[in-house]
Amino acid sequence: MAPPLLNLDGIKLTFGGTPLLDGAALSASAGEKIALVGRNGSGKSTLLKIAAGMIEPQDGEVFRQPSATVRYLPQMPDMDGFADVRAYVEAGLGPADDPHRATYLMEHLGLTGEERPNDLSGGEARRAALARVMAPEPDILLLDEPTNHLDLSVIEWLEEELARTSSAVILISHDRRFLERVTRATVWLDRGQTRRLDRGFAHFEEWRDQVLEEEEREQHKLGRQIVREEHWLRYGVTARRKRNMRRLGELQTMRQRFRSHRGAEGTATMVASDAAESGKLVIEAKGIDKSFGDLTVVKGFSTRIQRGDRVGLVGPNGAGKTTLLKMLTRELPPDAGTVRLGVNLEIATLDQKREAVDPAETLAHYLTDGRGENLLVNGEQRHVVSYMKDFLLKPEQARTPVRELSGGERARLLLARVLARPANLLVLDEPTNDLDMETLELLQELVAGFAGTVILVSHDRDFLDRTVTSVIAPDGGGRWIEYAGGYSDMLAQRGGSKLEDRKARSKAETVDASPKPEQTAPKGPAKKLSFKQKFALDSLPKKIEAVTASIARLENNIADPAFYERDPVSFQKTIAALDKERTTLAALEEEWLELEMLREEMEG
């Protein structure tokens, strides 16, 4: 493997309270494509800024190859002081860099270079920042949420561009499909520490679940060891003679490990408040048109949306997705045609601009509309702090102003408000923005299992594939076509694109080339311990006590300072016997733990 261009080791950083980073590590060699994943607030952006040299850690080693060039894409680019986009992008070039590369990137990102920074939308500012960091073709490219506010065509182009770059790429993104197609290694930042999987993000979720299951199992084993040690120290053979200070010290160490263990972060609990069932027909649109001046956004579109449908709207930025959405819900009248809403509709809406929230308003006041400490959720009175916990918002944040929240916390807060309202029609405009993987998975389950009807706008292809029953997409000239199934089904019905076909083949080849674990038929759990297992469980404590006593005698013998001078041969034999007994003790204790946990599982 090539030597790393970047290596972070033992990184520690604390902003008061629990450490944000506690021994984190991150390394990248030339050409590596790495996904940096973790919960919102876990420190991913901070670790990326440390890699970029923008933040100094309190402890740990930071190494960058002296000749390596590094470029960092922030979530919020600063374009102050630049006359236009071209000046901003070219400012990122070095003396030896090709200025034509900047022009090439701006063209493919849909920019002319003449745009004024103050006039840019969020998506345009993100495109300009991407062009700036990619133009020099740096040795190390650090990207924080590069797909935010980008439409699907640009995201697909960016996948191709990153796949063929020779730069080492470390990226943070909530777009699972993007991560799957770009990355070949995954670094998981969890509770201040990092774990690395030398496979792409497509394999991350299965690996993460295995790691957490093993961690839970090891923590349970540690708890059982503590119980056993406490029992033996009180009643065992060594306790009747004298306190075994070594074992007492080991018990204290185990207790400390058990108490200091930071369990996996909790998961959000999202449940939409149910309203009375709507009529079978939810929305019927017939021949609707909408134009703005000479621009035709919607022309002759018709659809019938029935109860239980989950409809996704896709298309490039500016195609008119939000306009069509507002027309379907009669928030915006069509120029021609008709829109009819069904009976008993209760609509809850999450708009793209995330509503006008007063940044000085507290979380509790925002969720309850200033009506005290409680809110009604699914017909049940809930205290606002209890409801906040469902969305991983801390109790102490109840009196916190909205402006203090991170992007992910703000996204969860707005979802909490929308889902508290009784609804049988959910209207979600870009609901996945700024959500971490776990919250995204929960939102996906909520949408897929919602008893009412859902209409959503999203650029997240994986989310669409997992949730919607049909997709509405533009076909040029204001025409929109509805396709059955998810995003991938839409591509198949349209004949796909050469870009998508190449990616599908590439992904298939990658999967085929990946080593596959042996498949074994799962064995059903036994209903009770076998006679042999039960006998072993009963007899092992006595064996362990006997071996422990033998170890104590041998340790007492070699503690005699004159033993070696008196009989060197016997001293070496005693050392060998002590090592053997310790190995035997470890094996017996492990066997007892396995059997005890198996017994607990069967009885529980």
pLDDT beyond 50 at 501: no
Number of domains composing the chain: 4
Tokens standing for residue 221: 């084993």
Percent of the chain with pLDDT over 70: 83
**Closest to 215 measured CA to CA, from 267, 266, 268, 261:** 261
* pLDDT for 227: 65
Q: 396-414 pLDDT, tens per residue? A: 888 888 888 776 777 788 8
Angle at alpha carbon of residue 313, lines to 312 and 314, rounded to 5°: 115
Q: 69-90 pLDDT, tens per residue? A: 999 998 778 888 899 999 999 9
228 in the same domain as 200: no
**Closest to 54 measured CA to CA, from 138, 142, 128:** 142
pLDDT beyond 60 at 354: no
Residue of 442 and 557 predicted with greater confidence: 557
The sheet with strand 70-73 has its strands ordered as 70-73, 140-144, 168-172, 33-37, 185-190, 193-197
54 in the same domain as 90: yes
| 100 — pLDDT class (breaks 50, 70, 90) | very high
Rounded Cα distance, 110 and 527, in Å: 64
* pLDDT for 84: 93
Tokens standing for residue 273: 């408040």
Rounded Cα distance, 132 and 110, in Å: 14
Q: 200-257 pLDDT, tens per residue? A: 999 998 898 888 888 777 777 766 666 666 665 555 544 444 445 555 556 566 556 6
The last residue of one of the domains, among 166, 181, 207, is 207
577 in the same domain as 463: no
Asked if 298 and 480 count as a contact pair (C-beta separation under 8 A), the reply is yes
φ, ψ of residue 463 in degrees (nearest 5): -60, -40
Q: Is residue 543 in a domain? A: yes
Asked if 439 and 390 count as a contact pair (C-beta separation under 8 A), the reply is no
* pLDDT for 497: 47
131 in the same domain as 197: yes
Q: Is residue 512 in a domain? A: no
| 510 — pLDDT class (breaks 50, 70, 90) | very low
Q: Is residue 519 in a domain? A: no
Secondary structure element (H or E) that encloses residue 501, with its range? helix 498-513
Q: Is residue 323 in a domain? A: yes
pLDDT beyond 80 at 174: yes
564: CATH: 1.10.287.380
* pLDDT for 1: 58
* pLDDT for 388: 86
**DSSP state string for 436-491:** -HHHHHHHHHHHHH-SSEEEEE-S-HHHHHHH-SEEEEE-STT-EEEEESSHHHHH
599 in the same domain as 455: no
Range in 50-64, 358-372, 390-404, 512-526 with the lowest mean pLDDT: 512-526
**Closest to 283 measured CA to CA, from 235, 339, 332:** 339
Q: Is 561 exposed, middle or buried (0-12, 13-18, 19+ CB in 10 A)?
A: exposed
428: CATH: 3.40.50.300
φ, ψ of residue 79 in degrees (nearest 5): -110, 15
The last residue of one of the domains, among 207, 226, 256, is 207
Q: Is residue 518 in a domain? A: no
Q: Is residue 1 in a domain? A: no
Q: Tokens 């839970």 label which residue? A: 216
545 in the same domain as 449: no
**Closest to 442 measured CA to CA, from 583, 289, 304, 271:** 271
Rounded Cα distance, 120 and 111, in Å: 10
| 372 — pLDDT class (breaks 50, 70, 90) | confident
Asked if 171 and 146 count as a contact pair (C-beta separation under 8 A), the reply is yes
291 in the same domain as 367: yes
pLDDT beyond 90 at 34: yes
pLDDT beyond 80 at 272: no
Asked if 377 and 420 count as a contact pair (C-beta separation under 8 A), the reply is yes
* pLDDT for 464: 92
480 in the same domain as 344: yes
pLDDT beyond 80 at 513: no
pLDDT beyond 80 at 525: no
Q: Is residue 271 in a domain? A: no
* pLDDT for 232: 58
pLDDT beyond 60 at 479: yes
8-state DSSP, 5: S
Q: Is residue 219 in a domain? A: yes
199 in the same domain as 227: no
141 in the same domain as 187: yes
Q: Is 310 exposed, middle or buried (0-12, 13-18, 19+ CB in 10 A)?
A: buried
* pLDDT for 499: 43
3-state SS, one letter per residue, for 76-104: CCCCCCCCCHHHHHHCCCCCCCCHHHHHH
* pLDDT for 540: 82
Average pLDDT over residues 121-125: 80
Percent of the chain with pLDDT over 90: 36
pLDDT beyond 80 at 168: yes
pLDDT beyond 50 at 433: yes
Mean pLDDT of the chain: 82
* pLDDT for 314: 93
* pLDDT for 59: 94
Domain residue limits at 140: 6-207
Q: E strands, 6-133, where?
A: 6-13, 21-28, 33-37, 59-64, 70-73
- Strand-pairing partners, residue 483, are 471
The last residue of one of the domains, among 505, 534, 567, is 505
152 in the same domain as 19: yes
414 in the same domain as 560: no
pLDDT beyond 60 at 136: yes
